[in-house]
Structures are given as C-alpha cells and as structure tokens.
Amino acid sequence: MRKMRRRVWILWGILVVLIGIAIGLSIYLKPYEATAAALQAMEGSESVSVLEEDHWYHFAPQSKKDLSVLFYPGGLVTPQSYAPLGLQLAEEGYSVFVMKMPLNLAVLSPNRAEDVMNVYPDESFVIGGHSLGGAMAARFAHDHVDQLAGVMLLASYADESGRLDTTGLPVLAITATNDQVMDHDMFAANRKFLPEDTLFYEVEGGNHSQFGSYGHQDGDGEASISSKEQTAIVATTIISWLDNI
C-alpha cells in the first residue's frame, strides 16, 4: 500500500511538473499578433489579391513583374503582421510570399521557401526576412545561391552559416536608429559576412517592431515616426533596390 501511494505521489509530481512546463512554454511562445491595420491590409486592394495557402500568404498583383519576393517573419511574429509591407510591394508589381512558420519561428523550418519555389519553378526570387527571419533567409540563400537573385535583411544580419560575402548576390540591409532589440554590435561585427557592395540603409526614428505591424515588442526602443511612416520608408527602399536587380 505504501509503495502504491508513493507511486501515485510520484506520478502526481511528474504531472505537476509537465503542466508547469506546458504553461511556461505557452507564455514564452505566445506570438505577437497582427494589428488592426495589418488585418485590413490582408484584405488586399483593387490591384492586389491576398491568397492563403498551407505554408504562406501570397500577395498577388494583377500586373506582375518578373521578380518575386520570399519573406520570413521575425521570431514569434505572426505572418499577417507583414501584410502592410507585402501589400505595398505587391502594389508595385512584385509578387510577395510571406511564409507561415511552425510556432512562428523560422528556425524550425528554415527551408520553407522551397515550398513556394517548387510550386512556381519558373519564377525568379529574392529572399528576405525580419530579425530571426532575416538570419534564416540568409542561411537559405547561402545554400541556394543559384536559385535566387538577391537577399534583403530587415533589422537582421547574416551569421557564418549564412554568409553571403562570396555568393555574388546583391544584398540590401535595412536597420533603424531606435531599434533596441537587434544587437547592433553583432550587426557591425557580422558585416564581414556580407558582400562589399551591400546596400545599407538606416531608418531614422524607426524601431525594431515597426518593420512589421504587431505593436510594441518587449525591450524595443520607442519610435519617433509612426508605423505607417516606417513601413512606407522600408517599402520604398526595397522597391528601389528590386527595380535595380
């Protein structure tokens, strides 16, 4: 009887620990959700349709250019949060695919861009991403150089596993002055992994969170420009870069 009681208490103890772990993970992995403005952008526009597939959202322009964009969201950020940016790029004729990630973490599916590329084998693609998504996009580009036309990094940097300095790919790196989430020292140190002709642009007054549209991210600095203004600046910079690839 004593052994039975001891086993019951042990099982209860294990159950309590597992419940605690589950609660902790649910809190830690709680995603940043899209704002009302982002959800509105998900409706598309007169010239852009937004299509949902199993692994991505497709911002499809009526009049399409030859180059398309693959985009990896930031860590724990829902893909819909990048709808304002995706919509603005698509309105300029660039087809945009914002990837869905397991648990909203690109590190869990770094090759997800292949899903789109397999469906559209005749498309020409650039790949990019925000924060963790940018780092994973750089790693994908490092391993798929011959299948891509360029890489764009938003508040992000390439590491040694995603080094792009010898790929010959054009690279755009956009940061923001009030970003307190990205490690600026690491960004500077890792510039060696980017090509010498990388185009760098810094958004004056912008922060980390406003590269998407999901509210204020924990630990970020306060932006001195609006989310709408930052999105417009980032979109204009990307479009200018894409137009010259």
Q: Where are the domains of the chain?
A: 1-30, 35-243
For residue 216, give both structure tokens. Answer: 């204020």
Mean pLDDT, the chain, rounded, equals 91
What is the spatial distance between Cα 58 and Cα 64, in angstroms, rounded to a whole number? Answer: 13
pLDDT confidence band for 27 (50 / 70 / 90):
very low
Alpha helices (H) in the chain, listed in sequence order: 2-28, 36-41, 83-91, 113-119, 132-143, 184-189, 227-243
pLDDT at 110: 98
Phi, psi dihedral angles at 170 (to 5 degrees): -70, 140
Query: What would the mean pLDDT of 52-78 be, rounded to a whole number?
Result: 98
Phi, psi dihedral angles at 68 (to 5 degrees): -120, 160
Chain-centre distance for alpha carbon 185 = 21
Per-residue pLDDT tens over the stretch 91-147:
999 999 999 999 999 999 999 999 999 999 999 999 999 999 999 999 999 999 999
Query: What would the mean pLDDT of 33-47 be, rounded to a whole number?
Result: 98
Residue corresponding to tokens 């937004």: 50
Q: At residue 1, does pLDDT exceed 60?
A: no
Measured CA angle at 97 (ends 198, 43), to 5 deg: 125
For residue 150, give both structure tokens. Answer: 């360029």
pLDDT at 7: 54
Q: What is the CATH number of domain 35-243?
A: 3.40.50.1820
Reported as half-sphere exposure (CB side, CA atoms, 13 A), residue 233 has a value of 20
Measured CA angle at 159 (ends 221, 170), to 5 deg: 90
What is the spatial distance between Cα 118 and Cα 129, in angstroms, rounded to a whole number? Answer: 20
Q: What is the pTM of this model?
A: 0.90
Q: At residue 194, does pLDDT exceed 60?
A: yes
pLDDT confidence band for 24 (50 / 70 / 90):
very low
Q: At residue 22, does pLDDT exceed 60?
A: no
What is the spatial distance between Cα 244 and Cα 220, in angstroms, rounded to a whole number? Answer: 32
pLDDT at 47: 98
pLDDT at 76: 98
